[in-house]
Structure 1
Amino acid sequence: MPTRRDAILGMAAFLPFPTHAAATIDVRDHGARGDGRAIDSAAFNAAIAAAAARPHGGTVVVPAGRYRCYSIRLRSHVTLALAEGAVIEAAAGTGYDLPEDNGEQLYQDFGHSHWRNSLIWGEDVDQIAILGPGLIDGRGLTRDGPGARWKAQTGERPLSMRQMTAAEIARLEPDAARMNGLGNKAIAFKNGRDIRLAGFTMAKCGHFAILATGTQRLTIQDLSIDTDRDGIDLDSVRDVLVERCRVNTPNDDAIVVKSSYALGRAAAAENVTIRHCAVSGYDLGTMLDGSRRTTQAMAPDRDRPTGRIKLGTESNGGYRNIRIEDCSFHHCRGLALETVDGGVMENVIARRLTMHDVTTAPLFLRIGDRRRGPAGTGVGAIRGVTLGEISATGIDHRFAATIAGLPGHRIEDVTLRDIHLSYAGGGTTADAARRPEDLASAYPEPSMFGVTPAWGLWARHARGLTIRGLSLATVAPDARPPFATEDVVDLHVTGTPLWRG
């Protein structure tokens, strides 16, 4: 009879780091119970330490069972392999590692500023893998945390939250002292290189299911994530691939690329590819159970369900060489490309995207002037963006695809190619007469401008906009024009735009 060790050795060719198969360590051999009652994090940390001490690292095996844990500390040269039926459950209570003392952390919120207060975390680690097919259940994590301590406090929250009371906001953003001992992320990496996450499922994972900051050569494959706030956050990363992932996040973004000041400096996010992924804003838990319900009307920001792919909002370092390809959006907001904190966005390609039941705008490009950063932070730029082969249906009639720069800071060199957008319709002549303010310092969201004065595509403060194949349709009549521009220079349209409504 082959042993479990034989099976792992046989898998060596398929492991991201085959040398980790030379030593296999069962968490139960270090005292893990997996009975759903005992706290097993000490056993996990002992097994990980033992694997890391081997000459070529090792594989920590998690057999079937439910393992309640507080913080699990990853070390270099270790693969954590979750067997079928293995569940790592985030325990309730205040047993998690304390958030690091990183000074004031003025320019991003609490969740982005700390990594150790997580269920699973690694800092400056090399050659790490977490493999499925098991489950990471974040039921004991909190989705809350205080906002940034930036003194200007402009553009901190979406305008859709203006009517919320101070008490309502305080419930979402408790002060930092109340976070001590709580976990608010499932998996967090600060820096680190050569990391692989593949094949497992994540449920209800707090503020972030996955937060990777300053991480290089990260691959995320074949994950199913159904969570109560952000899904996958890639902050100031380099050389990253996310593919074949399903991410459901009705209350926040599904897959998001950022470039915050969390590392104490502005660092770009660059060379990121997101492909063959499905994002959605179905009711929490209903992607995993297959029911895909849509009863939730609003996200916590008082706007419709989120669940999208986005660049932003934190954008101090900018973004370079981003590819978003062959992805689907279901019952969620559309693609958002934003820079509001001084960073430059350039060389972005998004193509072969399909969207159904779009809850705000299908496409949203925005330069803003929030400047949440140290003295000298300026206004950013967007240039060299190609959006192609995109089809969206069931779009909220209020919000056209939007390209919105600022006076003196135009969005430059954007190509729209083979874009097909179908809206619900219903706009009025009063909507057509609207002239929204620029709202330079406001938090960027498609709803920030209210109902747009065109129903299909609205562009202003842009230079070098090229349109090659655009078809727009409405289900019901709409009194607004299908396409409107303001302060757009070097507009090039090839082929006759088609619209029906």
Structure 2
Amino acid sequence: MDSTSRSSVYDPYDYGAKGDGTNLDTKFIQAAIDDCYSKGGGKVYLHSGTFISGTILLKGNITLHIASGTILKASDNLDDFPIMPSNYPSYDGSFVTNKMLIYAEDANNISISGRGTIDGNGDHWVEGPYGFPSMGLRPRIIHLRGCKNVLVQNVTLYNSASWVQSYQSCYNLVVDGVTVDSNPNKDIEKERFAKVKGRNTDGLDLIDCEKVRISNCFISSGDDGICIKSLSPDKVCRDITISNCIVSTNASGIKIGTETAGKITDVLVSNCTVYDTRNEAISLMTVDGAQLERIQFSKISLRNIKGSAIYIRAGERLRSYRKGTKLNTPYLKDIIIENVTGTRISKGYACIVAGTKDFPIENVLIKNINLQFEGGGKAEESFRDIPEKEDKYPNGRIFGVLPAYGFYVRHANNIIFDDMQLKSSLPDERPAFIGEDITDLEIRNFQAQGTANSPELIRLNDVRQVLISGCYPLQPMPVFLSVYGNGSNDIILLNNRLKNTIKNIEINSGNEKFNIEEINTLN
């Protein structure tokens, strides 16, 4: 125990708990919590055993402390996890709690701490009616709603049956030093569910939360790692920092979305490692009317990413999660992604910045990027017609193999790429960069590999007001820049080093007033 006075420490053993890993201890743990709450709060202290439990209702001014070597384990019996009325709407808009091991609602000043383990007993819930996608039938480990001043610290969350930890409409939330070990299909080189079925085991979900700090966490999850969502058009996720975390997942790494209905603003992600990830490593999206702005990712290290390294998407799926609400007019703007390094990035799924014709992405700075892709793409793949698919589930795989190996950018305004190096382990004949339907594009200090069979290093189609400066191909290739589309115009090339190209510019635009200027090229 720590220095907390014994008078404020409540031991479930004193209320009849067995802690023997066999008997159900729910009512004894709950009795300790209720007694602690009735006397103004304190610590409920689980120690020296394995406690089998159904749903525990955590209350205000209480720390649930799970000592080192101690296990709190979910029961095998679904009846031990009742669905109860709630003041907050669930995923489908109904006002119920769903199922979870630890639950709190409108509770202030609560903590879950200790070096012990909370075991979701997830292996029990993957067969019969409980399997994928029946998420509502399987208990989460931690679910907190409408709580203020929350600390979750140092615990290990193991083998969840559903979302590992989810926080909805919480304010002033700190998650620090938490280990999530809930990926039963850890071998990323095998098919996604090679060992067991999927369980929707997101590592950490924030839903319409404010004032949040997530730090020093290790997350290995069977679904998205750290995920920011918004289910209510009139709610907001904001003032969020995510730092010093290590993430490996069977889906996406650090993600905003997929469910995106309200505002998501003022989010800073820094000093994180993402590795062995099935889908995108860094993902930002609005597809259900969400309004995203002022989002920053900085100092991110990537390794063995099977999807896109960077994925920014404005789509129009426009799903509603709340009855009788009006969807917002979406936007995605004011984004900074910088200081990202990565290796073993998937051959098929380039980095993507893709809006729609009606909702272009705006004001994006992508800076100091050093990525090594697996490569192996062929020149003929670079002329694939990519469908819009604005109403589909958003991830980098929906477009198939992309025509660029590095970055594919479409429907965007005011986009800056600065100080970027793109390489591939195997020769890749596709362009390093393709831009389509862009207004105000800058590409500065861009270095990328090409091949003698590559049609060009950079391809622009219907792109206007362009500055390309300080760039050079890392290997000999036929063409530096190709320009297509009647909408292309006002392109300036400045101070580029093009000794490795046979032809600097190839123009395929039908615009009679097409304007391009080349200044101080070093050949």
- Scaled to the shorter chain, the TM-score interval is 0.7 to 0.9
1:235 is aligned to 207
2:14 is aligned to 29
Equivalent position SS for 1:475? strand
C-alpha separation in 1, matches of 2:327 and 2:64: 41
Equivalent position SS for 2:3? helix
Equivalent position SS for 2:375? coil
1:417 is aligned to 367
1:135 paired with 2:80, answer no
Equivalent residue pairs, number: 429
Q: What is the CA distance between 1:430 and its match in structure 2?
A: 2.5
Which range is displaced more, 405-414 or 373-382? 373-382
Q: Structure 2 vs 1, CA of residues 47 and 315 (structure 1 numbering), >3 Å: closer, same or farther?
A: same
1:17-49: CA deviation from partner (whole Å, max 9, x where unpaired): xxxx76111111111111011100101100001
Which residue of 272, 283, 286 corresponds with 1:339? 286
Runs of 4+ in 1 over 4 A off after TM superposition: 101-105, 140-145, 168-171
Q: Structure 2 vs 1, CA of residues 51 and 215 (structure 1 numbering), >3 Å: closer, same or farther?
A: same
C-alpha separation in 2, matches of 1:324 and 1:230: 18
1:163 is aligned to none
Equivalent position SS for 2:258? strand
C-alpha separation in 1, matches of 2:450 and 2:147: 51
CA contact (8 A) 1:69 1:88 kept: yes
1:270-290: CA deviation from partner (whole Å, max 9, x where unpaired): 011110000003xxxxxxxxx
Unpaired segments of 5 or more residues in structure 1?
11-20, 146-167, 282-304
1:89-135: CA deviation from partner (whole Å, max 9, x where unpaired): 00111233422457997x9359x975352100000000000111000
Which residue of 78, 84, 97 corresponds with 2:68? 84
Output the aligned Cα RMSD: 2.4
Q: Structure 2 vs 1, CA of residues 419 and 437 (structure 1 numbering), >3 Å: closer, same or farther?
A: same
Q: Structure 2 vs 1, CA of residues 170 and 65 (structure 1 numbering), >3 Å: closer, same or farther?
A: closer
Q: Structure 2 vs 1, CA of residues 440 and 103 (structure 1 numbering), >3 Å: closer, same or farther?
A: farther
Which residue of 152, 161, 181 corresponds with 1:206? 161
1:349 paired with 2:349, answer no
2:53 is aligned to 69
C-alpha separation in 2, matches of 1:72 and 1:102: 15
CA contact (8 A) 1:244 1:277 kept: yes
Q: Structure 2 vs 1, CA of residues 187 and 362 (structure 1 numbering), >3 Å: closer, same or farther?
A: same
1:194-214: CA deviation from partner (whole Å, max 9, x where unpaired): 000001111111211101000
C-alpha separation in 2, matches of 1:96 and 1:392: 45
1:108 paired with 2:104, answer no
C-alpha separation in 2, matches of 1:38 and 1:445: 44
Equivalent position SS for 2:203? strand
Q: Structure 2 vs 1, CA of residues 311 and 471 (structure 1 numbering), >3 Å: closer, same or farther?
A: same
Equivalent position SS for 2:35? helix
Q: What is the CA distance between 1:191 and its match in structure 2?
A: 0.7
Q: Structure 2 vs 1, CA of residues 330 and 124 (structure 1 numbering), >3 Å: closer, same or farther?
A: same
CA contact (8 A) 1:239 1:271 kept: yes
1:364 is aligned to 311
C-alpha separation in 1, matches of 2:254 and 2:391: 22
Q: Structure 2 vs 1, CA of residues 496 and 482 (structure 1 numbering), >3 Å: closer, same or farther?
A: closer
Equivalent position SS for 1:208? coil
Equivalent position SS for 1:9? coil
1:279 paired with 2:247, answer yes
C-alpha separation in 1, matches of 2:396 and 2:95: 26
C-alpha separation in 2, matches of 1:488 and 1:169: 48
Q: Structure 1 vs Structure 2: percent identity of aligned residues?
A: 25
Q: What is the CA distance between 1:53 and its match in structure 2?
A: 1.3
CA contact (8 A) 2:9 2:45 kept: yes
The amino acid that maps onto 1:413 is N
C-alpha separation in 2, matches of 1:245 and 1:480: 38
C-alpha separation in 2, matches of 1:104 and 1:50: 26
Q: Structure 2 vs 1, CA of residues 240 and 497 (structure 1 numbering), >3 Å: closer, same or farther?
A: same
1:16 is aligned to none
Structure with greater contact order relative to length (CA < 8 Å, sep ≥ 6): 1
Q: Structure 2 vs 1, CA of residues 486 and 494 (structure 1 numbering), >3 Å: closer, same or farther?
A: same
The amino acid that maps onto 1:343 is A
CA contact (8 A) 1:371 1:379 kept: no
1:58 is aligned to 42
CA contact (8 A) 1:119 1:186 kept: yes
The amino acid that maps onto 1:492 is E
CA contact (8 A) 1:78 1:127 kept: yes
Greater strand share, structure number: 2
Q: What is the CA distance between 1:495 and its match in structure 2?
A: 2.3
1:47 is aligned to 32
Which residue of 245, 263, 269 corresponds with 2:217? 245
Q: Structure 2 vs 1, CA of residues 101 and 62 (structure 1 numbering), >3 Å: closer, same or farther?
A: closer
1:314-350: CA deviation from partner (whole Å, max 9, x where unpaired): 1111200001100001100311101101010000000
C-alpha separation in 2, matches of 1:487 and 1:101: 49
The amino acid that maps onto 1:208 is W
TM alignment of 1:283-294, pairs within 5 A: none
Equivalent position SS for 1:393? strand
C-alpha separation in 2, matches of 1:143 and 1:397: 35
Give the structure-2-normalised TM-score. Answer: 0.78
CA contact (8 A) 1:144 1:174 kept: no
Q: What is the CA distance between 1:378 and its match in structure 2?
A: 4.6
2:132 is aligned to 172
Q: What is the CA distance between 1:8 and its match in structure 2?
A: 3.4
CA contact (8 A) 1:279 1:307 kept: no
Q: Structure 2 vs 1, CA of residues 493 and 315 (structure 1 numbering), >3 Å: closer, same or farther?
A: same
CA contact (8 A) 2:152 2:174 kept: yes
**Is the radius of gyration larger for structure 1 or structure 2?**
2
Which residue of 158, 163, 177 corresponds with 1:222? 177
Q: Structure 2 vs 1, CA of residues 113 and 471 (structure 1 numbering), >3 Å: closer, same or farther?
A: farther
2:196 is aligned to none
The amino acid that maps onto 2:229 is K
Equivalent position SS for 1:230? coil
Unpaired segments of 5 or more residues in structure 2?
184-200, 452-523
1:370-426: CA deviation from partner (whole Å, max 9, x where unpaired): 111256425411100000000111011001110000002110000011011110001
1:153 is aligned to none
Equivalent position SS for 1:8? coil
